[in-house]
Every structure is written in C-alpha cells, then in structure tokens.
Amino acid sequence: MNPIALILGAGAAAVGAYKVYMKGKVAPPTAGSFQTQSLTSSSGVPVKVMTPIPRNVTSAQRTGIPSSPPVAARAAQPQVLPGGTVFVPPKAITQIGPGKFEMAPIIMTPTGAASVAISTIKDVQRALNTLGYVPRLVEDDKYGPKTAANIRQFQSKSGLAADGNAGPATKAALSNALQGFASSGGAPKVAATAPRAVTPVKPVYSTLSQTELGPYDTAPNRAGAAAQTAVNAASMTGRDVQRLLNLAGASPRLVEDGAIGPKSVAAIKSFQMSHGLVPDGVAGPKTKAALLAATGNSSLAAGEFGSQWC
C-alpha cells in the first residue's frame, strides 16, 4: 500500500475522534496537513509524530519567547473542552478562539495511529492499538470484552489497578504512554546533508561517547560545554531553527525564511514531542538546545549561525 495513503488513512481515523472538540467543520487531512517527525523507538519500532498544521500562530510561538513560565510537568492533565474532558500533555493543545482549539499531535506506529488527547473509548482503543497491545481492537467506540482485556494489560504494565475500566487515571496514563513511546530513546532520522564542520575549543560532551571523552571528561569542561551550548541556543535565529528542524528530519521540509509560521510551529511541536519536551510550539532555550544536540551542532561557537547559513 502507498505509504502516504497509509499515513493519511490512519491519520484521518485519529483526527476523527478529535473533531468533537472543534467548532465547525474540520477539513479532511491531506499530504500538507501535518508536519511529521520520524524516529525509531528504543524497542526498534518505527514511530511518526504527526502534528496538524495550526491555523494561527501565537506571539510566543512566533518569537520563541514564552509568554508564561515554562511548564515543567510532562504528565497528561485533564482539560475541559467543548464536548467533555480530555487528557493531554500540557500545552499540546492551543486555544485559537472562542470554543476553538488546535488538534493535538498524533502518534503513528505500524499498528495504529492515535491522538495524544484521550477522551472517548475510541480514543482508548486507538491508543492501545498504537502502543501494540494484542489482540488488535476494532475501533468502534464500544466497551467490549476485548477492549476491557487490553485495558487490563495496559493497567498491569503501568502499575494501575487492573480493573479494565478506562477511568481518568488510565486515560492520563495512556496519553503519557503515547508521548513516552515517541520519545523513548529514539533518535530522529537526521538528513544526510550535514552542516560545515567547526572545530570546538573544548570537547562537545553532548556528541561524544564516554570513551572518546577520556582525560577531558572533567567537571569544569562539562560545565564549559553546557554553558557554550546555552550561548549557542541564545544566538539562534528563526532561520537557524528552521534549518536545524530540516536537518533533524522535518517532513515536509520547511522553507528557511526565518518567519516562524504555522508549518514551523507544527514542526517544532513534532520535534518537541519526539524529545520529551512540552509540545507548545515555542522554540525556547530547551528546544533550541535539543535541536543543537540532535543535529550535532552543539560545538558551534556563538555567532557561527549567521555566517554558516548564508
């Protein structure tokens, strides 16, 4: 089967359950409806993080300057949206108007596709299928014996009371599991085109193995490398963010024009989700540092970006 058709088919199914939280009609997904980050989980399972491209961009997303203190918690939280309560990681959903919300990122594996927003029984079934629980469930929004059995499997593995009921704790745990599966040690597929090599003044600890560090593995050097990475992240422009997202495997590739628009925000969210960061679409210090590390650019000195990408 055509891979694009498979992605769109699974993505359409995952999006369907979330339409209840959107006022008005939501157009069916197309090849240009998502920004996708592909990776491989720590267990060797190919994973796609698919973020629907939003209609609007907030000031914080456009500038990379958070409008509120960063959210530390990664755990799914209950949010009351039109249609009911949904459990979703913090900042994964942005309100774009009265009663209107961005759709949350979708996690796709060979066994299914599910939004990280969990509310209905169908959401639960999709999440269990995506996480690979067997037997594969019919995603019919009906609570039957097979659904209950798979819920009990998940609950036992997650340290929850194995009662087979999809209560608030189970829904929150499923949302966390989807996000964790996407960031469980899997490295993004980095594009073949690498940036110009720059010789670091000090060892780059985020890109060297423990063996390679050797005698340079000292606390002062580690602190110096961390401080340099922070300086590099602070000096990054919107164009730098787009370039590194492309190097990290953003699909479709972004236009590197420096303007952080809806496609760039969706690509940032997909990258954040695949790295265990708060998926708010804001390229703040933590996201920039993760981009540097993921693409092997943590050794770039402050000021290198402007000359390198010209």
* SS3 per residue for the chain: CCHHHHHHHHHHHHHHCCHHHCCCCCCCCCCCCEEEEEEECCCCCEEEEEEECCCCCCHHHHHCCCCCCCCCCCCCEEEEECCEEEEECCCCCCEEECCEECCCCEEEECCEEEECCECCHHHHHHHHHHCCCCCCCCCCCCCCHHHHHHHHHHHHHHCCCCCCCCCHHHHHHHHHHHHHHHCCCCCECCCCCCCCCCCCCCCCCCCCCHHHHHHHCCHHHHHHHHHHHHHHHHCCCHHHHHHHHHHCCCECCCCCCCCCCHHHHHHHHHHHHHCCCCCCCCCCHHHHHHHHHHCCCCCCCCCHHHHHCC
- Number of C-beta neighbours around residue 218 at 10 A: 11
Is residue 4's pLDDT more than 90?
no
C-beta separation of 42 from 185 below 8 A: yes
pLDDT-wise least confident of 77-86, 138-147, 180-189, 258-267: 180-189
More confident site: 218 or 297:
297
C-beta separation of 147 from 137 below 8 A: yes
pLDDT-based confidence at residue 7 (cuts at 50, 70, 90): very low
The tokens for 209 are: 């193995």
pLDDT per residue as tens digits for the range 28-85: 455 578 999 988 887 788 999 999 999 889 999 999 988 877 776 678 999 988 878 9
pLDDT value of position 96: 74
More confident site: 13 or 214:
214
More confident site: 302 or 176:
176
More confident site: 190 or 258:
258
Percent of the chain at pLDDT above 90? 46
- Whether CATH 1.10.101 fits 210-308: yes
CA gap 182, 178 in Å, rounded: 6
C-beta separation of 288 from 236 below 8 A: yes
C-beta separation of 254 from 32 below 8 A: no
| Residue boundaries of the structural domains of the chain | 3-182, 210-308
State the amino acid at position 210 in one-letter form: Q
pLDDT-based confidence at residue 119 (cuts at 50, 70, 90): very high
Q: Which neighbouring-strand residues pair with 193? A: none
More confident site: 202 or 109:
109
pLDDT value of position 43: 79
More confident site: 155 or 183:
155
Calculate mean pLDDT across residues 242-271. 95
Q: What are the CA-CA distances from residue 89 to residues 93, 160, 178, 278 (Å)?
A: 8, 19, 10, 7
More confident site: 254 or 228:
254
Cβ neighbourhood burial of 51 (10 Å; 0-12, 13-18, 19+) = buried
Percent of the chain at pLDDT above 70? 68
CA gap 250, 265 in Å, rounded: 11
Calculate mean pLDDT across residues 283-305. 72
pLDDT per residue as tens digits for the range 179-232: 988 886 443 333 333 333 333 333 333 444 344 445 555 555 555 555 555 556
Residue 214 makes CB contacts below 8 A (sequence gap 6+) with none
